[in-house]
A and B are shown apart, each in its own frame.
Chain A
Amino acid sequence: MDTSLFTRQSEYEWRIESTGKMRVPAIIYASEALLREMDHKVYEQITNVTTLPGIEKAAYAMPDAHWGYGFPIGGVAAFDADRGGVISAGGVGFDISCGVRNLLTGLTAADIIPVQKKLADALYDKIPAGMGSTGHLSLNSTEMDAMLSGGARWAVERGYGTVEDLEHTEERGCMAGAQPEQVSDHAKKRQRDEMGTLGSGNHYLEIQRVAEIFDANTANAFGLHTDNIVVSIHCGSRGLGHQIGTEFLRTMAIAAAEYGIDLPDRELACAPIHSPLGQDYLGAMRAAINCALANRQIITHLVRQVFAAFFPQAELRLLYDVSHNTCKVEEHIINGTLKRLYIHRKGATRAFGPGHPDIPQAFRAIGQPVLIGGTMGTSSYILVGTSEGMARSFGSACHGAGRSMSRHQATRQWWGHTLVDELAHQGILIRSPSLRGIAEEAPGAYKDVSAVVDAADQGKLARKVAKLVPLICIKG
């Protein structure tokens, strides 16, 4: 991207001044190197977002931003319902509430290495991954609605996990305001057999080792110690979220004209928050958030069962669970006034600073754990939310590495087999139903996650706490 298009506010902050139809400026947080590598589409898309009604302060793009649908992936925007603000199905995306949760195991790498291969096989055997896989339970319509209302709480009530898990999940495991009746029969049918499945694409389950600690006090508070083993689960609301996204995107794209909204891109499909359609989507989207929370909770239970067979003494505690494709109502200070805003995060992680009431009691004085997924075979990071981040990006940070290369290019450049062998040589075991899927997700097809995380840290969106490296990766 051409850096002359921006006003450089600081080393990591690049501003697009408000002109033409833009209602507010746009700001990209990135190092100069990351910005130069970004596709120009990010500029177009984040600028388009600023034209939507009721947008507050600025539209933001995180350091991992890349070309998305309507919103760039890595986009953050806030809307005031009382100023005609909108809710956008495109601003949330297809994989509603896709997110990451980390489990602390109390084990060390020395415990894992002797059983690494058997553990990889057992996890791959137990956790349904990849296209066409089905979960261990099938939901009838009553249970489907209970799940969509209850989220991870529903799962815990049915024996998948503990009450302590809920305290360490965003929204305490249950998104309020979900309306299962706004979720179509098609979406429910698509989900019926998919509870407790990983999915495919960039979704994964990893066994990771804490390789480096950057902030000893915070790491200690989070229960992270060098050489400890952490389980990381990355997946979302599965077919249900995809179907809700598909249906509301269409309805909103058609209805926008009726609401007098001039869409610069059909994919920015949205509706006023104070409209029947806006409210219907909110109810359905919140149900999909619960679906994602329940899904990750069930997978957590399956992981615990596998670990219990290898390490009967191990207790897998949930560190935290964050979602990165959502729209949530939050309070933020704009020009000295506390406002209730609808915060869209499309491929961006919530990163609340110290003292926020939504942070679990155990971390409230420190800040929210911010879980950043890496790519297969590269590092993942744990950061912590900061007070500066609350002011700079509505308490948001990056969500991962972000692709730098298309799937097509990746398959031309790498062979799945070679990648599996190379990673095995580095001590990382990959299990996946598809070699082509592995090639498409090659680490080299993504930006350098370390550079992205450094930009989030240096740009003061969130602070680095620990770096994790994989030992086992189950790919969908």
Chain B
Amino acid sequence: MQTTINRWEHFPHQADIGVRGIGSSKEKAFEQAAIALIAVITDPQLISPEIAVTISCQAPDSELLFVDWLNALIYEIATRKMLFSRFEVIIKNSRVEATAWGEKIQTSKHKPAVEVKGATYTDLHVRQEENGAWIAQCVVDV
């Protein structure tokens, strides 16, 4: 499968916003969804991938794992005061082992539009499409 399938997008929710990652594997879909999450806050291209942070989480099923992954990322953003633009996700036995690269938030550079409070179970799906592409999505509360 071509890697060009990997992409992200937002979808509407009346009060908030949905993040969707599409990828050639579940891992790629998780990575793309993380970029979609960052894009809720700012333009990911404004973020230099200078500092690496490791993130891991575990859950009983793929959908909970996806929400946990985004919430773990939100936690790192909030406590490290960082933004990320590059991700590498490995999923093994319902466990995410990931590295995120980014930099400290600079208001003048990144002009963050909004902070994300948490990932929700609304419109939550992790599934493989008939064409083989993986989709991971949910609404995030801002």
Contact = CB atoms under 8 A, between A and B. Distances in A.
A66 B122 CA distance: 14
Contacts of A68: 15
Contacts of A249: 118, 120-121
A246 interface: yes
B81 A132 contact: yes
Contacts of A253: 64, 121
Contact of A190 (B12, B75, B120): B75
B111 A132 contact: no
Contact of B118 (A246, A254, A265, A409): A246
B142 A246 contact: no
A69 B141 contact: yes
B27 interface: no
A239 B68 CA distance: 16
Interface string A394-432: 000000000111111100000000000000000000000
Interface stretch (A9-17, A278-286, A434-442): A434-442
A201 B115 contact: yes
Given A94-B117, A94-B118, A407 B111 contact: no
A434 B112 contact: yes
Contacts of B60: 254
Contact of A436 (B13, B111, B119): B111
A223 interface: no
Given A249-B121, A266-B121, A440 B114 contact: yes
B90 to A, nearest CB: 22
A440 B116 CA distance: 14
Given A190-B75, A250-B67, A266-B124, A242 B118 contact: yes
Contact of B115 (A199, A245, A403): A199
Nearest to A67: B14
Given A189-B79, A190-B75, A250-B64, A200 B14 contact: no
A393 interface: no
Most buried by A among B41, B115, B119, B124: B115
Interface residues of A, number: 48
A245 B116 CA distance: 13
Interface in B90-134: 105, 107, 111-115, 117-122, 124
B7 interface: no
Given A134-B81, A249-B121, A67 B111 contact: no
Contacts of A242: 74, 78, 117-118, 141
B118 A406 contact: no
Interface in A194-241: 199-201, 239
A173 interface: no
Nearest to A263: B121
A369 interface: no
A243 interface: yes
Contact of B107 (A39, A130, A403, A404): A130
Given A190-B75, A239-B78, A436-B111, A407 B142 contact: yes
B85 to A, nearest CB: 15
B55 interface: no
B53 interface: no
Contacts of A167: none
A69 B114 CA distance: 19
A188 to B, nearest CB: 10
Contacts of B68: 250
B50 interface: no
Tell me the dominant secondary structure on chain A's binding face: mixed
Given A132-B81, A250-B64, A254-B60, A406 B12 contact: yes
Interface string A247-263: 00110011000000000
B88 to A, nearest CB: 23
Contacts of A189: 79
Nearest to B12: A406
Given A131-B105, A267-B121, A267-B122, A440 B113 contact: yes
A433 B107 contact: yes
Contacts of A434: 111-114
Contacts of B105: 131-132
Contacts of A250: 64, 67-68
A465 interface: no
A265 B122 CA distance: 8
Nearest to A132: B105
Nearest to A433: B107
B105 to A, nearest CB: 4
Contacts of B17: 406-408
B71 A246 contact: yes
B77 to A, nearest CB: 8
B67 A437 contact: no
Contact of A408 (B10, B75, B79, B111): B10
Given A200-B114, A406-B16, 14 more contacts: A67-B13, A68-B15, A131-B115, A186-B75, A189-B79, A245-B118, A250-B64, A407-B17, A407-B114, A408-B17, A409-B12, A434-B111, A434-B112, A435-B111
15 contacts: A66-B14, A73-B15, A132-B107, A133-B107, A186-B75, A200-B142, A242-B78, A246-B71, A249-B121, A266-B124, A405-B14, A435-B111, A437-B112, A437-B113, A440-B114
Nearest 9 A-B pairs (CB), nearest first?
Answer: A132-B105, A131-B112, A406-B12, A131-B115, A436-B113, A242-B117, A437-B113, A266-B121, A67-B14
Interface of B: 10, 12-17, 41, 60, 64, 67-68, 71, 74-75, 78-79, 81, 105, 107, 111-115, 117-122, 124, 139, 141-142
